[in-house]
Structure 1
Amino acid sequence: MAEKTTEERTAEKRKNDENVIYVGNKPPMSYVLAIVTQFQGGGSDEVVIKARGRAISRAVDAAEITRNRFVTDAKIKDIKIGTESITNEEEGRTSNVSSIEITLTIKKKSK
């Protein structure tokens, strides 16, 4: 098997990051708009919603609002939960933060 070059891996990672939405402190409707835009304008049939800590509830809200109100044929393909260790630079202390990854998919309509 041929090894992938650094450029190929970077291009592949960039392509994968195009359909990822990172949820933070904004209201859930901001992320709903991003998800709907990704499905409609981005031509993507899969969107990954990622969040950590207190933003997890906003990520779930955004996924459910999108699924129930805007893109009713979207399905939840996968949900991954986990824990990430974060080291505080100043104190040198590590703390565990919960994380979630929700994958929404939509079936492409044949023309």
Structure 2
Amino acid sequence: MSDRRTIFIGKKPLHAYVRAVVMAMEAGDRAIQLVARGATISRAVDVAEICRRRNGHIAQGLPETIHIQHLECGSEEMPTESGTMRTVSVLRIDIDGVGDVPQSEEE
């Protein structure tokens, strides 16, 4: 699924990632993959749900319908600062936007 735009979820505020999804969909990318590792997995789930429900002022800029197409849960080996390998959980959420993106009121 290399045709999906990937957004890595980190420790920024939730609205920053919702805005990243909105901007990607406004740019024409209707297939998005949210990727989170370790402690940020719950934040990725929150971002996907806010987008799916179109909750909040920022999410109103999303297409009419957002579908969660696929969830993939797994683990990856990540190097630590000391050079050893550590296993971390990873969650990938594929979301698709269907319909038109509402026009911005600023225009």
TM-score, L = length of structure 1:
0.73
Q: How many residues align?
A: 92
Aligned partner of residue 95 in structure 1, secondary structure: strand
Structure number, greater radius of gyration:
1
1:32 is displaced (CA, Å) by 0.4
* Identity across matched positions, percent: 33
Where in structure 1 are there 5+ consecutive unaligned residues?
1-12
Please report the RMSD computed on the Cα atoms of aligned residues, expressed in angstroms: 1.8
8 A contact 2:74–2:90 mirrored in 1: yes
1:32 aligns with 2:18: yes
* Of 3, 7, 21, the match for 2:7: 21
Q: Which has the higher strand share?
A: 2
Whole-Å separation in 2 of the counterparts to 1:30 and 1:88: 27
Find runs of 4+ consecutive structure 1 residues off by over 4 angstroms.
none
Structure number with higher relative contact order (C-alpha < 8 Å, ≥ 6 residues apart): 2
Cα 1:82–1:33, aligned 2, differ >3 Å: closer, same or farther? same
Q: Which has the higher helix share?
A: 1
